[in-house]
Amino acid sequence: MGKDKLRKFSENETFGHVIQPSREEVESGITYKGNWAQKLFNNTAPIVLELGCGKGEYTVSLAKAFPNKNFIGIDIKGARIWRGAKTADQEEISNVAFIRTQIELIDLLFEKGEIDEIWITFPDPQIKFRRAKHRLTHPEFLRKYFKVLKSEGLVHLKTDSEFLHGYTHGVLQIENQKIHFANHDVYQPHKVGIPNYVREIQTFYEKKYLEQNKPITYLQFSLKF
């Protein structure tokens, strides 16, 4: 392991807004469960998650755009999380935090109805059939999200993958879920009704995709099982 990674792992340990529970801690009942807003943010504001947050660009940007909400980025890669955590620390952004853990544990991390919104931004589409269960919009994941979301809580999927967009749209229709927005290219000027923040917040890779003229797709939906 490189020295830079070790440095980032070490610094993550000093951040009060980076939580790194073991799988055993999560499975046995993490103390934050049901009280994330109060214990981590010292408030009762709504909680929004970004799953597979990577370097936390979107998490941090959302936190800046919506100071009256709490934002938590979840990713298993500690060296990636470090970047977002460092930015939040340097800029003194108090409504952002990160959890280093597996996304499949989400229903054990949070209490039923504890989460207001979930963002999934540019995830690996897992195109190969044998990897289907790893897609973050696979029905098994959707059922986990439903467990932690408030009634009518929103899920946002923003991706450059037409495959994942189409797959997710199909899953939602089969599962009889409510789709609020379904757009194949959010930057087309004639697209109306899309929330401004969908366009205004861009990650490093999203900007690269746009430079390559790749359309950015967006789905917003709520769940009920």
Residues belonging to the active site: 124
Q: Can you tell me the distance from the alpha carbon of 95 to that of 81, in angstroms, rounded to the nearest whole number?
A: 16
Distance CA 94, CA 97 (A): 8
The dihedral sign for the CA sequence 48, 105, 12, 208: negative
Residues facing residue 157 across a β-bridge: 120, 219
Q: Is residue 81 within 8 Å of 56, Cβ to Cβ?
A: yes
CA distance 201 to 203: 7
* Residues ≥6 apart with Cβ < 8 Å to 127: 163
Which 3 state secondary structure label does DSSP give 197? helix
